[in-house]
């Protein structure tokens, strides 16, 4: 092999190495970055201005690090779709858990939507939330399955499968959801990501993967933040015009999307949707 041939071979080899080594690295850089790149600690603290006030029973229970660590358990959360879609999903999730744990009131300092993550457990539960007819996830004697954590996980048929998938005993030790910050956030994200009835999930609705069935179309269950509310608590809140609970959920969502500088998308309300 003469000098010219050697140089040509060397150039070809270098180009091949570029394609095989450098380009994959470049391609991976184009993939969605983790949600910590979209919501840093200072931004998180701006959303939840009062979560660590003395007035909040959940003071110091919902740290930023616990949220980010829990989110890593669900790699598609906040990383699916366009940048605006990602921001909108994160805002929707945080808005829903803010309503579930709010300590705000109409004239609260900084407004009612600055008081999310104030509670970690349901106040004065009216029952132990045990569905004794559910034999797959039977209640454990003496245990209560009332609302706990950011999304207020409730009922034995939710605690059981959540614990199985996340690695804790949800039926025998449901209280861990209000005792462990990371598990608390994971339980909320588990509910957010889980699919029921085909593609129906909070995540799929917010990222455009929800495909409505004929029954959904007939019930006016169209994609948007209102359908997320329907998934979470539709039996009590949807199909009711001007429901104050739904308005509260929307209020949090509007505040957070404004902070993210992204639009809310359509169908914020579930007033004219048939409950799930």
**276 residues of the chain, pLDDT tens digit each:** 554 444 444 544 454 444 334 434 333 334 568 899 999 999 999 999 999 999 999 999 999 999 999 999 999 999 999 999 999 999 999 999 999 999 999 999 999 999 999 999 999 999 999 999 999 999 999 999 999 999 999 999 999 999 999 999 999 999 999 999 999 999 999 999 999 988 999 999 999 999 999 999 999 999 999 999 999 999 999 999 999 999 999 999 999 999 999 999 999 999 999 999
**pLDDT value of position 198:** 87
Scan for tokens 């001007």, then name that residue.
242
**pLDDT value of position 13:** 42
Q: Which long-range contacts (CB under 8 A, 24 or more apart) does 49-55 make?
A: 49/110, 49/114, 49/115, 50/103, 50/104, 50/108, 50/109, 50/110, 50/114, 50/115, 50/118, 51/115, 51/116, 51/117, 51/118, 53/118, 55/103, 55/118
**pLDDT value of position 2:** 52
- Per the annotation, the verdict on 100 as an active-site residue is yes
Domain 31-119+195-276: which CATH number of 1.10.530.10, 2.40.50.140, 3.40.50.300, 3.40.1710.10: 1.10.530.10
Domain 120-179: which CATH number of 3.40.50.20, 1.20.1540.10, 3.30.20.10, 3.90.550.10: 3.30.20.10
On the question of a common fold for 31-119+195-276 and 120-179, the answer reads no
**Considering 31, 76, 89, 100, which one is annotated as catalytic?**
100
**Domain extent listing, the chain:** 31-119+195-276, 120-179
| C-beta atoms surrounding 180 within 10 Å | 16
Q: Give the separation between CA 80 and CA 212, rounded to whole angstroms.
A: 19
């Amino acid at each position: 092999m003469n000098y010219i041939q050697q140089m040509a071979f060397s150039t070809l080899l270098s180009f091949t190495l570029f394609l095989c080594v450098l380009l994959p690295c470049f391609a991976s850089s184009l993939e969605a970055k983790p949600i910590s790149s979209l919501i840093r600690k200072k931004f998180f603290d701006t959303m939840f201005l009062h979560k660590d006030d003395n007035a909040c029973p959940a003071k110091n229970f919902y740290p930023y690090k616990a949220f980010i660590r829990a989110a890593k358990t669900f790699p598609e959360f906040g990383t699916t779709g366009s940048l605006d879609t990602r921001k909108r999903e994160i805002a929707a999730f945080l808005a829903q858990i803010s309503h579930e744990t709010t300590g705000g009131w109409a004239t609260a300092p900084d407004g009612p939507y600055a008081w999310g993550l104030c509670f970690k457990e349901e106040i004065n539960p009216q029952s132990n939330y045990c569905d004794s007819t559910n034999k797959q996830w039977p209640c454990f004697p003496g245990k209560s399955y009332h609302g706990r954590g950011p999304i207020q996980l409730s009922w034995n048929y939710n605690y059981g499968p959540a614990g199985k998938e996340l690695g804790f005993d949800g039926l025998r030790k449901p209280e861990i959801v209000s005792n462990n910050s990371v598990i608390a956030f994971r339980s909320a994200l588990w509910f957010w990501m889980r699919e029921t009835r085909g593609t129906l999930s909070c995540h799929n609705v917010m990222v455009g993967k929800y495909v409505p069935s004929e029954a959904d179309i007939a019930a006016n269950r169209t994609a948007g933040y209102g359908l997320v509310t329907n998934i979470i608590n539709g039996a009590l809140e949807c199909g009711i015009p001007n429901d104050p609970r739904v308005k509260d959920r929307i209020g949090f969502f509007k505040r957070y999307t404004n902070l993210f500088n992204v639009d809310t998308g359509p169908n914020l309300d579930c007033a004219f949707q048939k409950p799930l």
